[in-house]
Amino acid sequence: MIRSFSIWVLITIMFFSCQFNQKKSVENHDLFQKSTISKPISFDLDAIKTRDTLRAIVLSGPTSFFVYKGESMGFEYDLLQQLAKELNLSLEIIVAPNFNVLGEWLNSGKGDIVAHNFTPTKTRKEKFTFTNYLYLTKQVLVQRKPDNWRNLKLHQIENMLITDAIDLIGDTVNVRKYSSYKMRLENFMEETGGHIHINEVDATLTTDELIGMVAAGDLKYTIADNTIAEMHAIYFKNIDVSTPISLSQKASWVIRRNAPQLQKALNTWIQKLRKTTDYYVIYNRYFQNSRIIKKHVNSDYYLTKTKQLSPYDDLIKKYSENLPWDWVMLASQIFQESRFDPKAQSWAKAQGLMQIMPSTARELGIEDTSHPEESIKAGTFYLLKLWNKWDTVEDFDTRLKYTLASYNAGLNHLKDAVTLTKAEGLDPNHWQNIEASLLKLTYRKYFSRKDIKYGYIHGIEPVNYVKEIFERYNLYIQLLDTAE
């Protein structure tokens, strides 16, 4: 195990159960290794719009994408939300387990874009297309301060550190194979005529993890973008990230080489985006606000590190055993209802974690709907009751969507949607047909029909309710998988 476990537990992505110098079974390659990547499929913006969904590949990390107290956050995540809105598309986030799969997932069509900060280089451009830059960064040396640094004066600490890149000559620096950091070190040696030993570490390791290993004393040096390094220095107080290795470099996203429509749309959007206040609010939130970043990463509810979504996970797991679906789906619904706030109350006076209506609480004999366990107990009891009402729906996911929509909008409105779907000659076993009927029941032409018994419904609410619960569930599952 790693020596300084008390420091190492702060690593933001995953825990290691073996020594760093043990070889992993996976091959050392990353996004830009040519020999392991398929030719890009032909799937440009017109096809993406036909599909109606933009698929973005991300890596989880304390600035790019993470879940905190059940809510999805991150610089890339927030920008992707804006991009999808700009393109009038739904957004599907695909969390990659490591760098190894990025290029293959992109070119094979699993995703349309890799939303991660990459530096465009001549070699990389031979294989992929890079967007306009989202921000400028520079590479810095990450090194550990002396063990007694707290007892030293600033000039004494500086005297014991590398303060000029030229002093790395003759020493060893640890970077990922094929990374821009390795390329920069090679260029530096060419420029200076000196030799730096480059130790190529396992390509599955992220920059976040390498920084943590320097902080723990398992590595002497690594290289990182200053935006990432400075963020880590907030909670790894024993590292120094002040020594530059490069001049300013562009940080861009990556798309397939044969997607000119998507490239044009992205570049136009980025050019406009960088001039907006929203962009700087998002940038400062994740790269400048040290207090917030530290709060997120050190929280018990930083999902990738702790596998905890909320203070109520044990209760959610307990009562989900009464349901045919897993606790993570129930957790996603509870976040949708109350954002895990037991004191939440809606305009309709629904209360608690699962937003139990007063009439439902009376029916179930619940006196205090703000009590977390009582709320979850009542909510799961009601969910199971609704699930059993839809026993004629054969497909599991479709039946679950019926159940969730009934919880949100009421069982009778879903029955009306089924009636309308059948009246129009469509199959109610296909959820998209029920979605369409729910949306139609917003309009008098449909809710005033004689066969519609329960009238008007603001149909977009249950449609979005179900959609967002499923989307959030998929994100939770992906991040829980990467945390294992």
Q: What is the pLDDT of residues 337-348, one digit of tens each?
A: 999 999 999 988
pLDDT tens per residue, range 410-420: 999 999 999 99
Q: Which CATH architecture has domain 34-136+250-305?
A: 3-Layer(aba) Sandwich (3.40)
| 3-state secondary structure labels for all residues of 117-173 | EECCCHHHHCCCEECCCCEEECEEEEEECCCCHHHCCHHHHHHCCCCCHHHHCCCEE
Q: How confident is residue 367, by pLDDT bands cut at 50, 70 and 90?
A: confident
pLDDT surpassing 70 at residue 94:
yes
| Position 476 pLDDT exceeds 80 | yes
pTM, full prediction: 0.80
Note the pLDDT of residue 27: 33
- Mean pLDDT, rounded, for 380-396: 96
pLDDT at 22: 33
CA separation for the pair 104, 239 (Å, rounded): 34
For the cut 80, the answer to whether the pLDDT of residue 35 exceeds it is no
Q: Where are the domains of the chain?
A: 5-26+139-247, 34-136+250-305, 313-472
Which CATH architecture is the domain 313-472 placed in? Orthogonal Bundle (1.10)
Name, in order, each residue with C-beta under 8 angstroms of 125's C-beta and a sequence gap of 6 or more: none
| 439 three-class SS | helix
Which of 2-16, 83-97, 417-431 is least confident?
A: 2-16
3-state helix, strand, coil in the chain (%, to 5): 50, 15, 35
Whole-number Å distance between alpha carbons of 53 and 92? 7
Which of 14-23, 247-256, 296-305, 423-432 is predicted least confidently?
Answer: 14-23
Q: What pLDDT is recorded for position 25?
A: 30
Q: Report the range of poorest mean pLDDT among 206-210, 236-240, 472-476.
A: 206-210
| Per-residue pLDDT at 32 | 55
pLDDT at 304: 79
Q: How confident is the model at residue 4 (pLDDT cuts 50, 70, 90)?
A: very low
Cα 251 to Cα 179: distance, rounded to the nearest angstrom: 13
When the pLDDT of each residue in the chain is averaged and rounded to a whole number, the result is 90
**Average pLDDT estimate for 272-281:** 95
Cα 127 to Cα 94: distance, rounded to the nearest angstrom: 21
| Mean pLDDT within 463-470 | 97
Separation CA 303–CA 98 (nearest Å)? 17
* pLDDT, position 31: 56
pLDDT at 254: 98
pLDDT at 154 over 50: yes
Residue 409 has pLDDT above 50, yes or no: yes
76-80, 174-178, 377-381, 432-436: the lowest-pLDDT one: 174-178
In this predicted structure, what is the pLDDT of residue 124? Answer: 87
Is 337 annotated as catalytic? yes
Tokens of 228: 């990432």
Q: What is the per-residue pLDDT for 297?
A: 75
Q: Which of 76, 92, 209, 337 is catalytic?
A: 337
Sheet holding 239-244, edge to edge: 197-201, 172-176, 221-225, 139-144, 239-244
* Intrachain domains 5-26+139-247 and 34-136+250-305 with the same fold: yes
Pairing assessment for the beta strands 71-73 and 66-68 based on DSSP bridges: antiparallel
- What pLDDT sits at residue 305? 80
pLDDT band at 393 (very low <50, low <70, confident <90, very high): very high
Please give the CATH number for the structural domain made up of 5-26+139-247.
Answer: 3.40.190.10
